[in-house]
């Protein structure tokens, strides 16, 4: 169990609006990849991929299953060594930077992470503070503040003493998000952060990430499967297919029927979201649509016959 410290009387509550607004700027957070090739053993997953992550913006990576989205995120976080090419962080090759430096700049929430058996939520979130600790001071008030704030912001403050392995899928996901927030990195990489969450908590988590971006200037990169969520929250959209970037840009430029068809192999209409004004994707099956049109025509014809015959 981590050691708790006394809170100075003048300190703002982690739930305070002023606390969020008064956090220091994270500064430059340039992250980009050039001619990146990533592989598992002999299987190449990402091929000759170049990508610049817009600083201080929300970037969403989307694409069909097995197109390399999660692998790309692992490569950007230096968890997977490139076979060719390089990832750069703040003008330097990320491969040459000390591990602690990378951990203080880039935080990663992987897909379906696992916690040690019996580990409590509070202790899991406290692990996000490891990069900030020194051998002569392993726990500080700043660590305490960051953990309490992350627990509150992620909505798991009341679960802090519960073992992670006893939580529901949604609660567990929010606990892991809290750990990523406690790390307080200027760059956040999240692989499907809304997995296991119900609709209300999906919106809650995405709103939280948007607020961190707007008020603290954090650079957020996340993989999302829901194109409409991506459209609502992303400033920059990256569409992948076959281990490469198919296209990238603002959602209004990327989410077109043509691009959706090329990337996902599905027909879609794109209309304006009545709430946000962002592009809203409505996928459909050509075969089912044709079948329904045929049934509707038949029903109208049958109705006309009934009217004529008086039945």
Domains and CATH numbers, the chain: 27-105+185-253 (3.40.50.300), 117-127+134-183 (no CATH)
Select the more confidently predicted residue: 143 or 299.
143
Edge-to-edge strands of the sheet including 58-62? 106-109, 187-191, 219-223, 58-62, 236-241, 244-249
Mean pLDDT for the stretch of residues 60-71: 96
pLDDT at 186 over 70: yes
- pLDDT band at 170, cuts 50/70/90? confident
Q: Which pLDDT value is given to residue 16? A: 32
Q: Which pLDDT value is given to residue 297? A: 56
- Contacts of 5 by beta carbon, 8 Å cutoff, 6+ apart: 139, 140, 141, 144
Q: Which pLDDT value is given to residue 15? A: 31
* Percent of all residues in the chain with a pLDDT value above 70, rounded to a whole number: 82
Structure tokens at 127: 């692990």
Structure tokens at 305: 């016959």
Structure tokens at 85: 């090419």
Q: Which pLDDT value is given to residue 53? A: 96
- pLDDT band at 20, cuts 50/70/90? very low
| Least confident piece of the model among 190-199, 254-263, 299-308 | 299-308
Q: Which pLDDT value is given to residue 150? A: 93
- Contacts of 250 by beta carbon, 8 Å cutoff, 6+ apart: 235, 236, 237
Q: Are 201 and 170 in contact (CB under 8 A)?
A: yes
Q: C-alpha angle 156/159/165, rounded to 5°?
A: 105
Q: Which pLDDT value is given to residue 286? A: 76
- Contacts of 244 by beta carbon, 8 Å cutoff, 6+ apart: 46, 47, 48, 49, 68
Closest CA to 243 of 71, 82, 67: 67
Q: Which pLDDT value is given to residue 17? A: 34
Q: Are 186 and 220 in contact (CB under 8 A)?
A: no
């Amino acid at each position: 169990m981590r050691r708790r410290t006394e809170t100075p009387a003048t300190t703002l509550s982690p739930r305070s609006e002023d606390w969020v607004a008064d956090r220091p700027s994270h500064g430059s957070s340039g992250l980009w990849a050039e001619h990146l090739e990533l592989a598992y053993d002999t299987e190449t997953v990402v091929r000759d991929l170049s990508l610049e992550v817009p600083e201080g913006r929300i970037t969403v990576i989307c694409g069909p299953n097995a197109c390399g989205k999660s692998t790309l995120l692992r490569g950007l976080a230096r968890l997977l060594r490139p076979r060719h090419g390089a990832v750069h962080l703040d003008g330097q090759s990320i491969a040459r930077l000390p591990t602690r430096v990378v951990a203080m700049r880039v935080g990663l929430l992987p897909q379906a992470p696992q916690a040690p058996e019996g580990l409590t939520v509070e202790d899991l979130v406290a692990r996000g503070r490891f990069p900030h600790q020194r051998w002569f001071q392993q726990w500080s008030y700043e660590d305490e503040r960051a953990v309490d704030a992350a627990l509150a912001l992620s909505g798991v403050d009341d679960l802090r003493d519960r073992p992670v392995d006893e939580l529901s899928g949604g609660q567990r996901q929010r606990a892991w998000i809290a750990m990523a927030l406690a790390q307080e990195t200027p760059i956040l990489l999240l692989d499907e952060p809304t997995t296991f969450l119900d609709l209300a908590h999906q919106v809650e988590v995405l709103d939280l990430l948007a607020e961190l971006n707007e008020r603290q200037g954090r650079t957020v990169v996340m993989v999302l499967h829901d194109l409409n969520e991506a459209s609502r929250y992303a400033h920059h959209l990256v569409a992948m297919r076959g281990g490469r970037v198919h296209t990238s840009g603002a959602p209004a430029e990327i989410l077109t029927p043509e691009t959706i068809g090329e990337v996902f192999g599905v027909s879609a209409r794109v209309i304006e979201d009545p709430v946000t004004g962002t592009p809203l994707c409505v996928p459909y099956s050509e075969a089912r649509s044709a079948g329904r049109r045929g049934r509707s025509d038949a029903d109208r014809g049958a109705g006309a016959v009934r009217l004529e015959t008086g039945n």
